[in-house]
Each structure stands twice: as C-alpha cells, then as structure tokens.
C-alpha cells in the first residue's frame, strides 16, 4: 500500500489544516477481491474487484515487473510500459487510472473520438500497476490487443548494471481465455520475465 496525505508520504509530518487531500494506491502479489478504507472502524469507501466474465463490466489490466534488492540498492530501474490498448469493437465506456502509483508521469486515457483505444504510460519497479476499464458487455469473440512501444528502463540502475530495453511488443488476449480466470502474458525485458 502506498498513500499520501496532503502530498506527504508515509512517515512524514502533516500540518494541522483541513480539509485533507488523501491519495492512495494498493497492489498485491495476487488478485485483490476487495478494498475497504476505514475511519474509526467504519467503512468510508469500498470497491470490489471480483466478478466473473458475464457478471462484471470492468476488467483490470495490470503491468508487473520483478525486482530484488542487491546490497543496498535495487538493480533494476523503472520499467516504462507505454503504448495503446485496443479492443476489436467500440465497447469502452471509461478508464479508471486512479490506482496508478505515480500521478505525475503515469496515465491511461481513452483516445479522443474513440471507444476502442486507450493510450497509456505506466511504470513499475518490483510491483504491479493497474488500470481498470469499464466496458459494454464482453462476448467470447472479443479480443484485446496491447501494443507496447520500445522504451528504456530509467533511474540510477546504471551504477550496478546497464539499463534494459523493453522492445516494441504486440500481445493479443482473447476474451474467451478469461473463462478459466486471470490471463497473463510474459514479456522478456533483458534477462527478466515480466507480466501483463
């Protein structure tokens, strides 16, 4: 979990002013079924992420990179996932990118004048980062295409090793694959195997 209060990160000090601006993001090593925000043990916000194909009109598209600390530093920099998510029909009703970790440089937006294309830039460094797409009803014949542009890993990882390159990649996910549960695609970045 990652959150800020008035743009102050966990462990910082916040001035005694009101109202407060609270931003948060949460990810897990497996699928999340629900999220609850509580104040004084009362639920003030709730979101469900469960749902089977046919009973939910939202899908989660997540990008995940591995990373392990070596010595005092993380050898991998941020992986930049940038490109376009396309649906074979105009079925996109909305895009929720509020769970992205870095609000300054990450985004996912419906392309102007389109109901089938989402332009995005998402960064991961040892975690998963997700967008949620609200759709009209999905059918088994629908397909999701993810076009990734070539990008370079960023941050100061060059002091431990050379930066990796995410090569331009094209992935197709057929909706009928969701009948068995979550679907993932492996993406090779340098010697690491990351996931969509």
Q: Is the dihedral of CA 146, 66, 24, 53 positive or negative?
A: positive
Number of domain units in the chain: 2
**Which residues does 193 contact at the CB level (< 8 Å), separation at least 6?**
66, 186, 187
Across all residues in the chain, what is the average pLDDT? 83
Average pLDDT over residues 158-183: 83
Tens of pLDDT along 64-105?
A: 988 776 666 667 788 999 999 999 999 999 999 888 877 778
Q: Are residues 76 and 10 in the same domain?
A: no
Q: Are residues 72 and 102 in the same domain?
A: yes
* Contact predicate 170/145, CB 8 Å: yes
Q: Are residues 119 and 166 in the same domain?
A: yes
Q: Are residues 177 and 143 in the same domain?
A: yes
> Is pLDDT of 169 > 70?
yes
Domain limits for position 40: 2-47
Q: Are residues 33 and 81 in the same domain?
A: no
CATH number of the domain within which 153 lies: 2.60.40
Q: Are residues 103 and 39 in the same domain?
A: no
> Is pLDDT of 34 > 70?
yes
pTM score: 0.69
Residue 113's pLDDT band (boundaries 50, 70, 90)? very high
Average pLDDT over residues 164-190: 88
* Contact predicate 186/194, CB 8 Å: yes
Q: Are residues 72 and 146 in the same domain?
A: yes
Q: Are residues 154 and 75 in the same domain?
A: yes
Residue 179 DSSP SS3: helix
**Which residues does 143 contact at the CB level (< 8 Å), separation at least 6?**
87, 88, 172, 173, 174, 175
Q: Are residues 145 and 77 in the same domain?
A: yes
By CB neighbour count within 10 A (0-12 exposed, 13-18 middle, 19+ buried), where does 112 fall? exposed
Residue 134 DSSP SS3: strand
Strand partners, 24: 3
Q: How far is CA 19 from CA 6, 16, 22, 28, 139, in A?
A: 9, 10, 10, 30, 44
């Amino acid at each position: 979990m990652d959150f800020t209060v008035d743009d102050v990160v966990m462990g910082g000090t916040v001035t005694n002013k009101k109202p407060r601006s609270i931003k948060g993001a949460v990810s897990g090593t497996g699928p999340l079924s629900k999220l609850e925000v509580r104040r004084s043990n009362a639920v003030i916000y709730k979101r469900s992420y469960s749902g089977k194909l046919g009973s939910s009109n939202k899908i989660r598209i997540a990008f995940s990179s591995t990373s392990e600390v070596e010595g005092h530093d993380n050898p991998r920099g941020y992986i930049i996932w940038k490109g376009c998510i396309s649906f074979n029909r105009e079925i996109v009703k909305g895009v929720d990118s509020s769970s992205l970790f870095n609000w300054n440089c990450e985004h996912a937006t419906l392309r102007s004048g389109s109901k089938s294309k989402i332009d995005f830039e998402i960064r991961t460094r040892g975690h998963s980062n997700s967008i949620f797409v609200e759709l009209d009803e999905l059918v088994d014949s629908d397909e999701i295409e993810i076009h990734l542009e070539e990008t370079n890993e960023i941050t100061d990882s060059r002091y431990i090793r050379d930066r990796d390159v995410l090569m331009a990649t094209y992935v197709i996910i057929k909706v009928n694959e969701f009948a068995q549960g979550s679907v993932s695609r492996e993406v090779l970045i340098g010697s690491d195997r990351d996931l969509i």
